[in-house]
Amino acid sequence: MPRSDPDDTELPAPSADVVSRRLGDEVVLVHLQTNRIFALNPTGARFWQLLVEGKGRGEIEATLQREYEVPAEQVAAEIDALVSELRRERIVGTGPAE
């Protein structure tokens, strides 16, 4: 069932071809089709955790803003940059999660 809040439909779903492993405060992602490895710093790791839990963009932004005490605009820009990079690596799908 699609979500009614447009902010919650903007993020793509994690690819089924990707496995993740927490190593300390970082997360390492491995794309099983390409064998490419992608490491996420602590902030990216927290984003990934929330994304995998099925949280919508609005909730992820609010959580990261609160936990890292950064302005909303900075959180939004960093999420956009990370999602673009994850799409290029095929770590997440190209469209929004449903």
Q: What angle do CA 8, 18, 93 make, to 5 degrees?
A: 40
At 36-70, the pLDDT tens digits run 999 999 999 999 999 999 999 999 999 999 999 99
What pLDDT does 10 receive? 81
**pTM of the complete model:** 0.85
At CB < 8 A and 24+ separation, what contacts does 47-53 make?
Answer: 47/79, 47/82, 48/14, 48/20, 51/11, 51/14, 51/92, 52/14, 52/20
Going from N- to C-terminal start, the domains of the chain cover 6-88
* In contact, 47 and 79? CB cutoff 8 Å: yes
Res 1: pLDDT: 35
* Confidence (pLDDT) at 96: 57
What percentage of the chain has pLDDT greater than the value 90?
A: 84
Q: What values do phi and psi take at 95, rounded to 5?
A: -115, 180
